[in-house]
Chains A and B, each alone.
Chain A
């Protein structure tokens, strides 16, 4: 080769190299995959003055590309189409970083055109650059998709957090605290507290099998069904039975994601706690003297089997009694192969003594953290603590209603404690002395009825007196452990009494009704009964 020719070739190579650099710059100037493909095809055709070009896995083409050719080469019939066409073409594989081919660049040559070595090198180099640019664009696209997923998960987490009780309800004479921590963004634990118009509170702690979004979705569906049943006033047994059938009927996916759950209904007036445990971990109920009751499962998890045989249990909550309900994530915390377990959790709970429920949960979480040495948790964790206050307590003064509860033994004469306490409360509310005397007599009569008829004068059985003050009224409930009030007698007939046609007694309920603005007797054979009376500052 003459010196002049060599110089010309070198100059062409420099130009081609510059073109390749420019092509590379353009290809990497965008992270939009369609744009990368368009630029690559345009450079190929223009730089080498070819008829057309396309990639086998992208719909775009540049130049004169017969659609039939592109379609056939993008499918399984590629080989056949190539042989069927007269037009010469070249193929360049584009591979990912792992070396796997993900598409081919097809260039269509003009008739009789043969590419020289430099031109072929150029196309091979451009294919490599296009591979990197397309892969980067794909990573970007996946990053955007993942951002959308993350954003959805964050929104789902917010929704789930908003469905957890935001604040604990004020239950007279009880303190309550709950905590739920998910292992992933969203979890399968379900915690709910529903205050009923009757003054009762329904508490639910449940755990959907599995973790993450699928379990969270199932938990949300479970929550809706359960809340509807609670609001409909169904008993716990009815709720458990129906929700088991409902969940089972949702199909195979729901059955795989069965739900263990424990339902409670707390009556703060009669201090009774009804429970149904469906395959859930045992709850701990600890009396003030340390006596332990385990509230164990009486049936299978919800949705596992098409039949059930749940047995509700009712517990009488004495002052100072404490309840811990939790999901298995609380016991399945590990230190190496050593599981925290039920006995350690119970031990921790017992050691908490009379700490507040909030402090109890802090202590339990701290103990779990120390046990696992900060190791990442592998399951959702939920716990709820309920205390019956050790004695009476008064809620803070800024509450719309204030409560005061006292207990008196079933011995005649003790009613004066309730009378005098109520009188002080009524006096502080501004009731006139004559109305306070009315109140004292009504409370005395209700207490005597409770002692004599409800508790049969058994001095070991208490009579509860709950005073609840509003802006302009005082409500009193007198609770006994009996099966109902004495038969409601008509107004006393003094003539019959004087002629001994009617017992000289039997005037208590009449006096209560006459002296109070409202009076009623509620009979509850399972959980005790009470008389409820209301006296108003401004009578109707």
Chain B
């Protein structure tokens, strides 16, 4: 029973303010094997992608190594002056993200619309 390969789809969605939002839609598992999918994809984004939305609604399994990759992504985003919003986490992973304190650096939204609206704040 190996890890499900992490897949990531990058989309650009318009926002009410006009600045587009770059959405990283993850599916599969996020584990230590997901470095290329998580960090590699992020590093490949154009420099003008300042609003990053992480979509975890297709993620079934996320362990501490996977959370570490998310933290590394947020560190990189912070250095690049990019804002990160998150949505789609299952209730258990919201609990885990809250436990480790990630919520201090990214809000966990219940759905995409709320998350997109948060960039305007």
Evaluate contact between B67 and A413: CB separation under 8 angstroms: no
Evaluate contact between B64 and A498: CB separation under 8 angstroms: no
For the complex formed, measure the closest distance between the CB of A338 and the CB atoms of chain B, giving whole angstroms: 57
- Chain A, residue nearest B78 (CB): A498
Q: Does A412 contact B (CB under 8 A)?
A: yes
- Chain B, residue nearest A514 (CB): B99
A438 to B96, CA, bound (A): 9
A498 to B105, CA, bound (A): 9
A434 cross-chain contacts in B, Cβ below 8 A: 91-92
Q: Does A441 contact B (CB under 8 A)?
A: yes
B101 cross-chain contacts in A, Cβ below 8 A: 492-495
Q: Of A420, A493, A507, A510, which is in contact with the most chain B CB atoms at under 10 Å from its CB? A: A507
B65 cross-chain contacts in A, Cβ below 8 A: 448, 505
A495 to B103, CA, bound (A): 11
B67 cross-chain contacts in A, Cβ below 8 A: 507
A60 to B62, CA, bound (A): 103
A497 cross-chain contacts in B, Cβ below 8 A: 71, 75
Contact with A along B65-82 (1 / 0, CB 8 A): 101110110110010000
Interface contact tally, CB-CB below 8 A: 73
A438 to B93, CA, bound (A): 10
A285 to B63, CA, bound (A): 41
Q: Does B31 contact A (CB under 8 A)?
A: yes
A507 cross-chain contacts in B, Cβ below 8 A: 64, 67-68, 100
B92's partner among A438, A494, A500 (CB-CB below 8 A) is: A438
- Chain A, residue nearest B101 (CB): A494
Chain A contact residues: over half helix, strand or loop, or mixed? helix
Evaluate contact between B96 and A441: CB separation under 8 angstroms: yes
Q: Does A213 contact B (CB under 8 A)?
A: no
Known: A413-B3, A434-B91, A441-B92. A494 touches B100 (CB 8 A): yes
A257 to B61, CA, bound (A): 65
Evaluate contact between B71 and A448: CB separation under 8 angstroms: no
Evaluate contact between A445 and B64: CB separation under 8 angstroms: yes
For the complex formed, measure the closest distance between the CB of A203 and the CB atoms of chain B, giving whole angstroms: 37
Contact with A along B15-56 (1 / 0, CB 8 A): 000000000000000011100000000000000000000000
B91 cross-chain contacts in A, Cβ below 8 A: 434
Q: 5 tightest A-B contacts by CB?
A: A494-B101, A437-B92, A504-B68, A413-B2, A507-B64
CB within 8 Å of A: which residues of B? Answer: 1-3, 31-33, 61, 63-65, 67-69, 71-72, 74-75, 78, 90-92, 96, 99-102, 104-105
CB within 8 Å of B: which residues of A? Answer: 411-417, 420, 434, 437-438, 441, 444-445, 448, 492-495, 497-498, 500, 503-505, 507-508, 510-511, 514
Apart from A437-B90, A441-B96, A444-B63, what are 10 other A-B pairs with CB-CB below 8 Å?
Answer: A413-B2, A413-B31, A434-B91, A441-B92, A445-B63, A448-B63, A493-B101, A497-B71, A498-B74, A498-B105
Can you name 30 A-B pairs with beta carbons within 8 Å? A411-B2, A412-B31, A412-B33, A413-B1, A413-B3, A414-B1, A414-B2, A415-B63, A416-B1, A416-B3, A437-B90, A438-B92, A441-B63, A441-B92, A444-B63, A445-B64, A448-B64, A494-B102, A494-B105, A497-B71, A497-B75, A498-B75, A503-B68, A504-B68, A504-B71, A504-B75, A507-B64, A510-B99, A511-B96, A514-B99
